Amino acid sequence: MKKILLATAAVALTAGAAAADGVSFSGYGRFGVVYNNKPGDGNKKANITSRFRLNIAATKTTDSGVEFGAKFRIQGDQGTIVGSSRSQAMTNNAATFWAKSGPFTLQVGNVSDAIDADNVYYNGDLGLLGWGDQEVIAGTGFWGYGSSAYSNGNQVGVLATYAANGLTVNISYVTPDQTLKSNPTQDDEKAIAIDYTMGAFAMGVGYVKNPGFATDGSASFASFQYSFGKSTIGIQAGNKTAGLGNQYTLFGNTTLVNGIGLQAYVTKDNVDADTTGYGLGMSYDLGGATLLGSVAKLRDTSTQADFGVKFSF
């Protein structure tokens, strides 16, 4: 699941690009090496990994001050998954459309659901690839911003956002196939997430019904974090669906001297006795690019590591 944090369309869809009406470009590139000690049958443990992502957005502001826009992206991945599947082709995804007026934004089409759009949910991620083992409800497969073009499913969603004075509220509705009158194997997903930031404190809560278009079930999370000086510490708890139990994650990060950063997490769920995971990451600011590396022991007992460079534009 791709991690696209859409606090508001204005932030996420114009980051690093020109603010004026018209067509704008933004994105990032990353490259390095990735390692998995249990890569799957027939695969090597270490591989080169790379990604180029180009976001293309177009905006127009009406005389009354309402911003209308659309965005899609072109992305190429190589070797990012050391396992049974690989993604190596350049692909474009389905478009997102939005209308924004003051603190309100309405997105339609290829949208993140409310959890995927949450401001604080992914704050424990680390490394070049952002390992997701510490994400407390990721195993439920909640709907995220789609990486590919619409296929037979023709999934479409709506995401409404209010963001002002430290408060962000996301409400989403995503259907697996809007052209079908009914789908006996998948139900529409509904989600809500609320964030609030006040000074050094930040918190977020979220709830999703029928995550990932499941026919039943729900999942929820709560996150709290505190920043002091150049450091942040946080805790997350999540209740998963489909018998996956509860998961708890403690994470932290700090900036040391000369642009060196350190990130870490420890996570555990209650499915069985051997489900503790932990990870350590480091970063170095190159001034326009960042050197990133991490090593993590995942809850499935595999060990993964990555190292490389990431730059944004």
- CATH code for residues 9-222: 2.40.160.10
For the chain, counts of helices (H) and of strands (E): 1, 17
pLDDT (tens, 9 = 90+) of the chain, 313 residues, equals 444 433 333 344 444 444 455 999 999 999 999 999 988 777 889 999 999 999 999 999 999 999 999 999 999 887 544 334 455 567 888 999 999 999 999 999 999 999 999 999 999 999 999 877 888 987 777 888 887 777 555 678 999 999 999 999 999 999 888 777 666 677 889 999 999 999 999 999 999 998 887 777 889 999 999 999 999 999 999 998 766 788 999 999 999 988 999 999 999 988 766 689 999 999 999 999 999 999 999 888 889 999 999 999 9
Instruction: Please name which of 207, 192, 195 lies closest in space to residue 167, comparing C-alpha atoms.
Output: 195
* 8 Å CB contact between 237 and 248: yes
Domain boundaries in the chain? Answer: 9-222
- In whole angstroms, give the CA distance from residue 194 to residue 54: 29
pLDDT at position 182, please? 66
pLDDT of residue 18: 46
Q: Are strands 90-92 and 189-198 parallel, antiparallel or unpaired?
A: unpaired
pTM (two decimals) = 0.85
The predicted pLDDT at position 260 comes to 96
- pLDDT of 88 reads 54
Separation CA 136–CA 244 (nearest Å):
10
pLDDT value of position 273: 63
Handedness of CA 103, 3, 93, 208 (dihedral sign): negative
Q: How does pLDDT run across 4-33, given as a tens digit for each residue?
A: 433 333 344 444 444 455 999 999 999 999
